[in-house]
């Protein structure tokens, strides 16, 4: 009882701050009219939440499609308390947002602070000079040349995956949760290839607390999408110890679940980091004895940081943050993309068989494929590209303007007042949602079949409408891996992971649909469930061994 009384002033102070902030946010939109009100968009569902309930609904695919089709390539959405936001997939506007004026359209405070609390001061949470400094150190490690050296590590992990699945299905067709298998595999790939650490042998079941925490983190964070918008206003109240105490007192199961997951990940990452540093301090022989034999990203990062001048060195805190950042980014996106491909191949048996024939033919000499042979398999490339086009793991990212600016358009849109708008004045502090999924499905670029999964479209030259649009994505005229200085640094790493896993699995197994209905859910990273209300992410598919 005394402990409960002593905690009351902390909670009261927190609630008073929130009440004051809410009052300010209530009055602002009523007295200040934004120039964005002339941009067409859907009506707000409520004054408090605007459209956010629909934007962050796990079944919000239809809403995204509706606003794209009805309102065009730039749409006004409504945020908290009537605040206007922009949803954008116009290619010229996107070039301005992610390349030309990327220093104006920065990550939102919610994104930076939230990821900083989860991962530390890594690539996701730094801006300007510090972000460029981190990226400069990391870029050579993700080069194609280094990917070639990592291929044997990936092949070994994929073979372990094949053996693990074979143990489960050796006696006939068996239903397997392929999302679970892909999550375990993606973690082991980034574990060995990225951290020089093995999380999971794959050939047997292990209690992988870190893997489970990583898999649960993104859906848990997405469930708090609206509450997380308060972070910029509360993160600097008091000392870290004070904020931690307040966090532990908040009677919300979802918040406490995120806290538990982050604690698990932080403890594991710190332990791996200390082991890597200790081996590095002992010299090359100790490094070579570790998983990855010194070829992993963290070993290369430690060496690169040792070799640069003092002005380019990163402190331990930032090096540690790269571990957590890269692991989370690599596991969620790669496992989601691989699971989606396997689901599509199970639905489209003709595509699965055609892809299998290409892979088997490439292995006629019985040897493992070289890096060049792997990346030059045309149908495998087509299947991967088309899946990443139509079903990008992340559907959007959000930016916030640091100053007033003008957003150019590739073609004019008609305003609410009937006038033609050729460019949009965007006030400072406006949130701009980059519509990754909408940009990749833009029918003005990709044609009337833009919503259809057709790997064959990549086997012939792309339409001029695509190539002439100059979509600012770093990969294949797509926004899947973004563009500019904040493009995904590990997209080549991810592509190689996907191809190695698919080549290994399709030689040995056939995948078909089970009798369970699969629904893909909208989140920070898309995930499948059985039916629309299942709280557990999973992808049950029937798997059988292919006889040689």
- Other CB atoms closer than 10 Å to residue 277's CB: what's the count? 15
Q: Which single residue is written with the structure tokens 């000392």?
A: 239
Task: Give the pLDDT band (50/70/90) at residue 211.
Answer: confident
User: How far apart are the C-alpha atoms of 262 and 267, rounded to whole Å?
Assistant: 9
Selected residue with higher pLDDT from 238 and 154: 154
Q: What is the pLDDT of residue 27?
A: 58
Which residues lie closer than 8 Å to 225 by C-beta, 6 or more apart?
52, 56
Selection from 492, 486, 463, 467 nearest residue 478 by Cα: 467
Helical pair 378-390 and 316-347, crossing angle rounded to 10 deg: 100
Q: What is the pLDDT of residue 9?
A: 66
Fold of the domain spanning 120-389+485-536: Cytochrome p450 (1.10.630)
- Binding positions for heme are 488
Q: Is 32-111+392-452 assigned to CATH 3.30.420.40?
A: no
Beta bridge partners of 85: 77
User: How far apart are the C-alpha atoms of 309 and 508, rounded to whole Å?
Assistant: 49
Selected residue with higher pLDDT from 325 and 500: 500
> Is the four-CA dihedral 269, 270, 272, 276 of positive or negative sign?
positive
User: How far apart are the C-alpha atoms of 475 and 472, rounded to whole Å?
Assistant: 9
Q: What is the pLDDT of residue 28?
A: 55
Task: Give the pLDDT band (50/70/90) at residue 5.
Answer: very low
Backbone angles phi, psi at 430, to 5 degrees: -80, 135
Q: What is the pLDDT of residue 362?
A: 95
Burial pattern 155-164, b for ≥16 Cβ within 10 A else e, equals bebbebbbeb
**pLDDT over 70 percentage in the chain:** 93
pLDDT tens column, 376-413: 999 999 999 999 999 999 999 999 999 999 999 999 99
Beta bridge partners of 481: none
Q: What is the pLDDT of residue 14?
A: 65
Q: What is the pLDDT of residue 451?
A: 96
User: How far apart are the C-alpha atoms of 491 and 400, rounded to whole Å?
Assistant: 24
Q: Which of 41-45, 144-148, 290-294, 355-359 has the lowest mean pLDDT?
A: 290-294
**By the 8 A CB rule, do 233 and 110 touch?**
no
Task: Give the pLDDT band (50/70/90) at residue 3.
Answer: very low
The count of residues in the chain is 548
Task: Name the segment(s) of the chain with CATH classification 3.30.43.20.
Answer: 32-111+392-452
**pLDDT over 90 percentage in the chain:** 66
- Other CB atoms closer than 10 Å to residue 52's CB: what's the count? 20
pLDDT tens column, 43-57: 998 888 899 889 889
Task: Name the segment(s) of the chain with CATH classification 1.10.630.10.
Answer: 120-389+485-536
Element spanning 409, H or E? strand 405-414
- The arithmetic mean of pLDDT across residues 257-273, rounded, is 92
Give the CA count within 13 Å in the CB-facing half-sphere of 288.
3
- Binding positions are 488
Which residues lie closer than 8 Å to 444 by C-beta, 6 or more apart?
73, 465
277 pLDDT above the threshold of 90: no
- Other CB atoms closer than 10 Å to residue 459's CB: what's the count? 11
């Amino acid at each position: 009882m005394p402990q409960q009384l002593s905690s009351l002033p902390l909670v009261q102070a927190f609630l008073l701050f929130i009440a004051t902030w809410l009052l300010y946010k209530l009055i602002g939109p009523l007295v200040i009219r934004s120039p964005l009100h002339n941009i067409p968009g859907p009506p707000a569902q409520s004054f408090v939440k605007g459209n956010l309930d629909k934007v962050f609904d796990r079944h919000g695919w239809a809403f995204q499609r509706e606003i794209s089709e009805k309102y065009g390539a730039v749409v006004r959405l409504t945020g908290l308390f009537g605040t206007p936001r922009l949803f954008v997939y116009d290619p010229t506007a996107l070039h301005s947002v992610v390349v030309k004026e990327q220093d104006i359209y920065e990550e939102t405070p919610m994104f930076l602070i939230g990821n900083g609390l989860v991962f530390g001061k890594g690539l996701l949470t730094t801006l300007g000079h510090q972000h460029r400094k981190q990226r400069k150190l990391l870029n050579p490690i993700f080069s194609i040349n280094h990917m070639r050296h990592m291929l044997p590590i990936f092949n070994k992990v994929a073979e372990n995956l094949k053996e693990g699945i074979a143990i489960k299905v050796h006696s006939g067709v068996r239903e397997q949760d392929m999302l679970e298998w892909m999550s375990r595999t993606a973690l082991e790939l980034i574990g060995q290839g990225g951290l020089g650490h093995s999380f999971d042998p794959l050939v047997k079941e292990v209690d992988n607390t870190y893997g489970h925490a990583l898999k649960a983190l993104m859906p848990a964070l997405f469930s708090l999408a609206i509450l997380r918008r308060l972070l910029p206003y509360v993160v600097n109240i008091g000392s870290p110890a004070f904020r931690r105490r307040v966090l532990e007192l908040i009677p919300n199961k979802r918040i406490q679940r995120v806290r538990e997951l982050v604690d698990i990940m932080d403890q594991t990452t710190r332990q791996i980091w200390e082991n890597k540093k200790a081996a590095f301090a002992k010299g090359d022989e100790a490094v070579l004895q570790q998983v990855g034999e010194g070829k992993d990203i963290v070993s290369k990062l430690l060496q690169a940081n040792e070799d640069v001048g003092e002005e380019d060195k990163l402190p331990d805190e930032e090096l540690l943050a790269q571990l957590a950042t890269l692991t989370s980014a690599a596991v969620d996106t790669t496992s989601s993309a691989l699971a989606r491909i396997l689901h599509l191949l199970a639905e489209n048996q003709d595509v699965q068989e055609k892809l299998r024939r290409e892979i088997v033919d490439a292995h006629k000499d019985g040897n493992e494929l070289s890096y060049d042979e792997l990346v030059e398999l045309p149908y495998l490339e087509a299947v991967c590209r088309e899946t990443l086009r139509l079903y990008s793991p992340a559907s959007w990212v959000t930016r916030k303007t640091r100053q007033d600016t003008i957003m150019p358009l590739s073609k004019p849109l008609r305003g609410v007042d009937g006038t033609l708008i050729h460019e949009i004045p965007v006030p400072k502090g406006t949130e701009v949602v980059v519509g990754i999924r909408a940009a990749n499905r833009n029918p003005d670029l990709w044609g009337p079949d833009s919503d259809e999964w057709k790997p064959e479209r990549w086997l012939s030259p792309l339409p001029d409408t695509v190539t002439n649009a100059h979509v600012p994505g770093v990969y294949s005229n797509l926004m899947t891996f973004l563009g500019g200085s904040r493009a995904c640094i590990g997209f080549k790493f991810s592509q190689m992971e996907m191809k190695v896993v698919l080549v290994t699995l399709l030689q040995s197994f056939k995948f078909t649909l089970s009798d369970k209905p699969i629904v893909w859910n909208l989140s920070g990273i898309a995930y499948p469930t059985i039916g629309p209300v299942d709280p557990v992410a999973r992808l049950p598919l029937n798997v059988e061994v292919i006889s040689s």
